[in-house]
Amino acid sequence: MYEKGKTPFKIKVVEPIKWNTREERQKIMEEAHFCQAYIPAEKIPINLSTDSGVTAMSQEQWAGMMLGDESYFGCKNWFNLEKSVQDFTGYKYVLPTHQGRAAENIVCTTLIKKGDTVLANAHYGSTEGHARRLGANPVNLYTVEALRPELSVDFKGNIDIDKLKKAIKEIGSKDISFLNMVLENNFTAGQPVSMANLREASRIAHENGIKVVIDSARVPENAYIIKEKEPGYKDKSIREICHEIFSYGDLMHMSAKKSGLVNIGGLIATNDKDLYDKMQDLLLMFEGFVTYGGLAGRDLEALAIGINEGLEYDYLAYRVGQVEYFGELLRDRGVPIYEPPGGHAIYVDASRVYPHIPREEFVAQALVVQTYIESGVMGGESPSSLGFSRTDPKTGKLTPCPFELVRFCIPRRVYTDSQIEYAADGIKAAMDKGKSVKGLRFKWRPKSEFSGIFFYQLERLP
Ligand SMILES: Cc1ncc(COP(=O)(O)O)c(C=O)c1O
């Protein structure tokens, strides 16, 4: 278990932060129409809006980048990466991609047929986007506990097994493209999935001839939480736990920009040769040759090393420990968080921070905006009604997002505990503004709901 101060690294390279004043931030937010996509990153002193691609790499990774072999065919870094992924997953066939959604594109295009349903514990936004693009219906099977942010029970990232059985019975397995298990479950407040749940979900899917896909962006953090919390796993190594996780899937894809500890990269791996052959064909069309997949040789090397570093116990204890510490700081300040903390972020329950702002007035974004103005700390509304309510293409009916959460992610190996303490104070300062904080409404929004995750223009309600 991580003890505060016992960080398993020291800082050798630094990036300056430019601090700005409250007045400046107020103006920046207004000029950006209350949308982060329009704010230059250097105007955000502490950026907790994502943990994706914002990792600090190690000296070994930077040294490895100097050994990039930029050959088109068979560069030596590819063989290092292939081995790291095989050792991590236990899968034989590996395909590199430039990031996670490129891997999803290939997986979804291979497995989905028009009119299908794709079942999940909760799809990440880009998987949902690919499913819709291909004419399928993505369905999230949350557990009852997962929909209660205040309830502190373990493994709220689980899929609801009864709902899974019911869905298979009602839809019929031939019309289900695959079962998508996301570990950790980003759209359920970054909650981990238990091994028992994954095992059972996989058994049911396979019994019905349905393939199981593991969205693996944060599998090492999920594995660490299994080791700490799930009976029977205390004495297993992180790698053993990862192997068991992947043994329940037919294939994994991964945004390596998270637990791969790199700034760019993605992966697909499987033991299914037939699937591999089909996906290889698409990879050649979309990403480039199969030994680089849209990445430079130096990126492959950084990832080959990063995967192994991301599986080290001391690193994971620090990583998940820092997230827990952030949660503790917020609890101490009376800020309502989604309980319990997962492994990559703290999700604040915005509707309990500002109970006077209804979801239609984008309460989560109101908290994002206010935290930035008060402190220069940026979170992201994720998921909330602003970017994640969805219209049924057939009926035109709107399904509201079940959450109004603001995600404050911790980039890996980037911020010190004292910056995390500062962030907790910033969120508290925003909460203390209470009823003086008003809701928001659209001035403009794009036609596509997917683009609407990132782009919109808002104004304050009077
Ligand atoms: C669970 C999960 N899957 C897939 C992705 C997509 O990965 P990328 O951003 O590398 O395209 C993300 C990105 O945040 C994610 O969190």
What is the CATH number for 78?
A: 3.40.640.10
**Nearest Cα to Cα of residue 412 among 9, 6, 120:** 9
Query: DSSP of 301-326, one letter per residue?
Result: HHHHHHHHHTT-HHHHHHHHHHHHHH
State whether the beta carbon of 121 lies less than 6 angstroms from ligand 1: no
Please give the distance, rounded to the nearest whole angstrom, from the Cα atom of residue 187 to the centre of ligand 1.
Answer: 11
* Residue at which a domain ends, from 309, 343, 377: 309
**Relative to the CA of 257, which ligand 1 atom is closest?**
10
SS3 267: strand
Work out the percent of the chain whose per-residue pLDDT is above 90. Answer: 96
- Per the prediction, the chain carries an average pLDDT of 97
How is residue 25 written in tokens? 């931030």
| CA distances in angstroms from 104 to 125, 425, 448, listed in the order given | 11, 38, 19
Q: Is residue 352 part of a domain?
A: yes
- What domain range is 417 assigned to? 22-51+313-460
Please give the distance, rounded to the nearest whole angstrom, from the Cα atom of residue 92 to the centre of ligand 1.
Answer: 23
State whether the beta carbon of 188 lies less than 6 angstroms from ligand 1: no
Considering only residues 280 and 3, tell me which one the structure prediction assigns the higher pLDDT.
280
What is the C-alpha to C-alpha distance for residues 179 and 202, in angstroms, rounded to an integer? 8
Q: Which CATH number characterizes residue 329's domain?
A: 3.90.1150.10
State whether the beta carbon of 101 lies less than 6 angstroms from ligand 1: yes
Q: Are residues 304 and 258 in the same domain?
A: yes
Number of domain units in the chain: 2
Q: Is residue 265 part of a domain?
A: yes
Work out the percent of the chain whose per-residue pLDDT is above 70. Answer: 100
| CA distances in angstroms from 102 to 246, 409, 411, listed in the order given | 20, 23, 22
Q: Are residues 66 and 92 in the same domain?
A: yes
Per-residue pLDDT, 2? 72
Instruction: Categorize the per-residue pLDDT at 259 as very low, low, confident or very high, splitting at 50, 70 and 90.
Output: very high
Please give the distance, rounded to the nearest whole angstrom, from the Cα atom of residue 24 to the centre of ligand 1.
Answer: 32
Residue 1 has pLDDT above 70, yes or no: no
Q: Are residues 423 and 454 in the same domain?
A: yes
**Relative to the CA of 53, which ligand 1 atom is closest?**
10
Q: Are residues 34 and 162 in the same domain?
A: no
By the 8 A CB rule, do 95 and 292 touch? no
Q: Is residue 17 part of a domain?
A: no
Summarize pLDDT for 402-452 with one digit per residue, the tens: 999 999 999 999 999 999 999 999 999 999 999 999 999 999 999 999 999
State whether the beta carbon of 126 lies less than 6 angstroms from ligand 1: yes
**Relative to the CA of 266, which ligand 1 atom is closest?**
10
Q: Is residue 47 part of a domain?
A: yes
Q: Are residues 247 and 348 in the same domain?
A: no
Please give the distance, rounded to the nearest whole angstrom, from the Cα atom of residue 99 to the centre of ligand 1.
Answer: 8
Q: Are residues 289 and 398 in the same domain?
A: no
For tokens 């190690």, the residue is 58
Q: Is residue 1 part of a domain?
A: no
Q: Are residues 359 and 263 in the same domain?
A: no
Q: Is residue 36 part of a domain?
A: yes
Summarize pLDDT for 211-229 with one digit per residue, the tens: 999 999 999 999 999 999 9
Summarize pLDDT for 114-130 with one digit per residue, the tens: 999 999 999 999 999 99
**Relative to the CA of 187, which ligand 1 atom is closest?**
1
* Residue at which a domain ends, from 282, 309, 336: 309
**Relative to the CA of 186, which ligand 1 atom is closest?**
1
Q: Are residues 364 and 435 in the same domain?
A: yes
Number of alpha carbons in the 13 Å side-chain half-sphere of residue 258: 25
Q: Is residue 391 part of a domain?
A: yes
Task: Say how far residue 230 (Cα) sits from the centre of its chain.
Answer: 22
Q: Are residues 327 and 206 in the same domain?
A: no
Q: Are residues 246 and 320 in the same domain?
A: no
Q: Report pTM.
A: 0.97
Please give the distance, rounded to the nearest whole angstrom, from the Cα atom of residue 100 to the centre of ligand 1.
Answer: 5
Q: Is residue 378 part of a domain?
A: yes
Summarize pLDDT for 269-306 with one digit per residue, the tens: 999 999 999 999 999 999 999 999 999 999 999 999 99
Q: Are residues 397 and 250 in the same domain?
A: no
Q: Are residues 44 and 100 in the same domain?
A: no
* Residue at which a domain ends, from 309, 335, 370: 309
State whether the beta carbon of 222 lies less than 6 angstroms from ligand 1: no
